[in-house]
Amino acid sequence: MLIPSKLSRPVRLQNTVIRARLIARLAAVQHYRLALIIRPAGYGKTTPIAQWGADKADIDWYSLDEANNYPEQFATYLLAAIQHATANHCERSDAMAQKRQYASLSALFSPLVID
């Protein structure tokens, strides 16, 4: 069973500072199929991304925490987010993950990249 809050975008907070420069840089990600935002805790990732993505339907959210150190759990949540963002276009990888029919994460993610 998946925890819905890990796959839910944060709501846009009304009284937050708009970081226009970061939001403008995020506008360039529309030319890519996947964007990973990687910075240490407290470096201001969530708020500008939530502001930028508030009106976009084709992006999804996956909040990582220490529980995601388990490969199976990481893969399950990542695939759930990708499936939602792509309107279920990764059925082969999702079926493999649901049935745990993969030898490694590389074996699972190879068809995902192709899909």
In this structure, the number of other CB atoms found within 10 A of the CB of residue 25 comes to 12
The verdict on pTM exceeding 0.85 is no
CA 32 to chain centre: 14
* Number of domains, the chain: 1
Instruction: Report the alpha-carbon distance of residue 6 to residue 95 in Å, rounded.
Output: 21
Under a CB-based contact definition with an 8 Å cutoff, are residues 51 and 17 in contact? no
Q: Which pLDDT tens digit goes with each residue over 56-79? A: 777 788 888 877 788 888 888 888
Tokens of 10: 């944060």
Q: Which pLDDT tens digit goes with each residue over 5-61? A: 888 887 766 778 888 888 888 888 878 777 777 888 888 888 888 888 877 777 788
Domain of residue 81: give its range.
4-114
